[in-house]
Amino acid sequence: MNSTLTPLTFLARSAQVYRDRVAVVDGGRRFTYAEMEARCHRLASALRALGATAGDRIAVLAPNTPMALEVHWGVPLMGGVLVMLNYRLQAPELAWIVNHCGAKVLLADPQYRDMMEEVRGDMPLVEHIISDHEAFLETGSAPLPDPHQPNEDDLFTINYTSGTTGFPKGVMFTHRGAYLNALGEGLEHGLTNETIYLWTLPLFHCNGWCFPWAVTAVGGTHVLLRQVDGQRIEELIEGEAVTHLCGAPVVINTIAQHFATRGKSLPRFLKMVTAGAPPSPAVIRAASEIGADVAHVYGLTETYGPMTICAWRAEWNSGTLEQRAVWKARQGVGYVIAGTDVAVFDPDMRSVPADGATLGEVCMRGNNVMLGYYNNPAATAEAFRGGWFHSGDLAVLHPDGYIELRDRAKDIVISGGENISSIEVEKAIMDHPAVLEAAVVAAPDAKWGEVPAAFVGLKPGMSVTAEELAAFCRERIAHFKCPKRIEFGPLPKTATGKTRKNELRERLWQGHEKRIH
């Protein structure tokens, strides 16, 4: 007897069976599950009162506030499609995304209000920009008289990713996919009604890897955090008895270093889930020394966030730290809910041998994989050629069935957990009148893992300094995307005239730890 697979049921259940338990901690404010549900219903009601109807895209720009969490139910409860925006982007980039998804309503945290008002003229479809969340909730009522009843295959959220091309692509999640992935996170990380989850990961990031729904499903507690700050994180871990958090290795390291330099250990068990790059031995050592457990997962926005996990094996506990770091650095095995839908394929889409040596492309399919790119059938078809999603990541398959990435999708720079399309950065550089050609690749960085580095060939007789070019870029793209190193000179080319990016990368990574992720 089927019922619809949708994360909407998670909040409804927790509001029913855990009415009086704390759902949300936001500084001094606490909401029970009953209150959280009422707020989400009021939000849905308020959106309807604005004129929003089922199928409308609702864009959201906010740090990890109650609003950023509540939209994960408030929007779908009235049938809307949630579009979380990356607050690290510049206003023109945000306007591009808002236009592409066709949002009529933009919910913007007050700190972004002015910035978005400035580009309002570039967003002709936007009818409302709402920035006072509490006042907006007051315009709605709870319970919502007739919550939207979705089909499980309906479009649920869109997450824009820079992907491997210069223009963002809107990754479409369905109710069913989000439901199953939330269960998957719960199962892989042992979430229970005693889970206290600290929001070190941005909620806009791939819908927080589905953790808004996963933590709510089990009746755990969301502890909100607006920015990664060691002191504040320490206070919350100790004061709220945090059990789980997620973040890029740089976040894990920040927390571990903060505790270590104060000679402190964690007050109790804490699981830190990390992705974006494999945790280095130093990170694993630092985390284990303060008493934390690090889980290494891997995925893309297109796979609703994590899809594989380096499932730990008891027999590995006896290894040295270095051995354990080598094992932990593997991307591992498909989630239980991923089944056998993670593969490493040769160019003919045949599985590579499980020899730990033969490179192939990581391909995925199934319930862990997006519906497609919003209004972009060409990119969708390209991504799903042969019936599998092509990650662009190259990996080996070990004899024990674990995958390990050996080279990243070649044109992506991952800086502090954020994807940066090198092509997009190149485009910004190329806009400068003195530039002839440009190649952007990842350079190693002690703090961010990677930063973009640019190799630039100038037009004959023209000149520009690195400082001038960097400033030029900062006017066009988000600061974190701008090249942190710029070198001038002719680019190395292949026989067919393509830039040899591998050669540039090798130049930058020489003497550094082998680049595996």
Beta carbons within 8 Å of 72's beta carbon, 6+ residues apart: 7, 82, 203, 207, 212, 213
Residue selected from 24, 248, 310, 337 as contacting a copy of itself according to rule CB under 8 A:
337
> What are residue 274's DSSP bridge partners?
247, 296
- The answer to whether 381 contacts a copy of itself (rule: CB under 8 A) is no
In order, the DSSP letters of 423-455 are HHHHHHHHTSTTEEEEEEEEEEETTTEEEEEEE
Identity of the amino acid at 308: T
- The answer to whether 2 contacts a copy of itself (rule: CB under 8 A) is yes
- The answer to whether 156 contacts a copy of itself (rule: CB under 8 A) is no
Least separation in angstroms between residue 190's CB and a copy of itself is: 6
Q: Which is nearer to a copy of itself, 85 or 369 (CB)?
A: 369
**Which of the residues 314 through 333 are near a copy of itself (CB under 8 A)?**
314, 333
Residue selected from 92, 190, 319, 356 as contacting a copy of itself according to rule CB under 8 A:
190
- The answer to whether 73 contacts a copy of itself (rule: CB under 8 A) is no
Least separation in angstroms between residue 29's CB and a copy of itself is: 21
396, 356 Cβ separation under 8 angstroms: yes
> Residue 388 and residue 384: Cα distance in Å, rounded?
5
Residue selected from 168, 249, 278, 334 as contacting a copy of itself according to rule CB under 8 A:
334
Q: Which is nearer to a copy of itself, 209 or 259 (CB)?
A: 209
492, 499 Cβ separation under 8 angstroms: yes
- Count of residues that interact with a copy of itself, criterion CB under 8 A: 50
**Which of the residues 8 through 67 are near a copy of itself (CB under 8 A)?**
9-10, 12-13, 16-20
> What are residue 403's DSSP bridge partners?
332, 397
**Which of the residues 196 through 255 are near a copy of itself (CB under 8 A)?**
217-219
Q: Which is nearer to a copy of itself, 153 or 322 (CB)?
A: 153
**Which of left, alpha, beta for 332 (phi over 0: left; psi -120 to 50: alpha)?**
left
Task: Tell me which residue has tokens 């109807």.
Answer: 53
How far is C-alpha 176 from the geometric centre of its chain's CA atoms?
19
Beta carbons within 8 Å of 290's beta carbon, 6+ residues apart: 255, 256, 259, 260, 264, 265, 266
- The answer to whether 386 contacts a copy of itself (rule: CB under 8 A) is no
Classify strands 57-61 and 81-84 as parallel, antiparallel or unpaired.
parallel
Q: How far is CA 67 from CA 75, 169, 189, 290, 479, in A?
A: 11, 24, 25, 33, 26
Please identify, among the stretches 58-66, 271-279, 365-373, 443-451, the one whose residues bind a copy of itself according to the rule CB under 8 A: 365-373
Please identify, among the stretches 160-168, 181-189, 256-264, 441-449, the one whose residues bind a copy of itself according to the rule CB under 8 A: 181-189
- The answer to whether 350 contacts a copy of itself (rule: CB under 8 A) is no
Q: Which is nearer to a copy of itself, 222 or 258 (CB)?
A: 222
Least separation in angstroms between residue 367's CB and a copy of itself is: 5
- The answer to whether 470 contacts a copy of itself (rule: CB under 8 A) is no
> Residue 152 and residue 6: Cα distance in Å, rounded?
6
Give φ, ψ of 22 to 5 degrees.
-75, 120
Residue selected from 49, 125, 321, 336 as contacting a copy of itself according to rule CB under 8 A:
336
Least separation in angstroms between residue 356's CB and a copy of itself is: 14
Residue selected from 339, 356, 386, 490 as contacting a copy of itself according to rule CB under 8 A:
339
Q: How far is CA 166 from CA 161, 419, 473, in A?
A: 10, 12, 14
Residues found near a copy of itself in the complex (CB under 8 A):
1-3, 5, 9-10, 12-13, 16-20, 153, 176-177, 183, 186-187, 190-194, 217-219, 311, 313-314, 333-334, 336-341, 365-367, 369-372, 384, 389, 400-402
